[in-house]
């Protein structure tokens, strides 16, 4: 991925012209129609890591508050909202274009009343979540990623968990060790196509 691509994906206002591209994906036995777009991660596709996440996990059950961390066009949070008719899903990203797409996709799927997409600083500081799901933005760099996780993992409710998918070649195993060192031991739920699916539980 080029530096220009990174600038687009992780900028508040990507500079490339905005072009939407609709995709249809099957997630946990549900068909979702979603708009992706230029300047947003995984335009025109479901990226491999997120596909592994869905394939190797079951959808959450009996949870009320879910965070989609680094939501992009919203596929993870929207899939969860589609499966949990009572759950409130919060999706966060720094890319305003991604947030726009996520909101539009929520409207199309009929879950906009339970799905909120915003920048991280717009989330109430006292908000807590039963589960956090994420294909985290590894390419922002190790220090920034560590800061991101240490900012959000403490927002898990007692007994809550985070489910993360991380590329092995992008440091999944070292991240798992680091999480344990920070007091957030992570179990490996699955390993497929060069990705690890990690589960972090709050004690």
* pLDDT on residue 77: 98
Stretches where the chain sits below pLDDT 50 are: 1-9
Domain of 92, CATH number, reads 3.40.50.150
Q: Which two tokens stand for residue 186?
A: 């992570």
Domains held by the chain: number: 1
Cβ density class 18-29: b for 16+ within 10 Å, e for less: eebeebebebee
The token pair that represents 127 in the structure block: 């908000």
Residue 27, domain extent: 3-201
CA angle 144, 130, 59 (to 5 degrees): 95
Of 48, 17, 46, nearest to 33 (Cα)? Answer: 46
What is the share, in percent, of the chain residues with pLDDT greater than 90?
A: 89
pLDDT at 22: 97
């Amino acid at each position: 991925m080029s530096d220009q691509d990174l600038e687009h994906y992780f900028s508040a206002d990507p500079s490339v012209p905005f072009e939407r591209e609709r995709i249809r994906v099957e997630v946990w036995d549900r068909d979702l129609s979603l708009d992706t777009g230029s300047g947003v991660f995984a335009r025109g596709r479901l990226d491999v890591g997120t596909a592994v996440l869905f394939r190797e996990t079951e959808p959450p059950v009996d949870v009320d508050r879910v965070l989609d961390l680094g939501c992009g066009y919203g596929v993870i949070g929207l899939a969860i909202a589609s499966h949990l008719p009572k759950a409130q899903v919060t999706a966060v990203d720094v890319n305003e274009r991604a947030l726009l797409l996520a909101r539009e996709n929520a409207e199309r799927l009929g879950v906009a009343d339970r799905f909120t997409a915003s920048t991280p600083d717009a989330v109430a500081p006292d908000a807590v979540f039963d589960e956090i799901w994420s294909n985290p933005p590894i390419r922002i760099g190790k220090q920034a990623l560590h800061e991101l996780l240490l900012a959000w993992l403490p927002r898990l409710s007692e007994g809550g968990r985070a489910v993360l998918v991380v590329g092995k070649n992008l440091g999944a195993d070292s991240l798992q060790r680091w999480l344990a060192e920070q007091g957030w031991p992570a179990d490996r739920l699955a390993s497929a196509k060069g990705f690890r699916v990690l589960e972090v539980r709050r004690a």
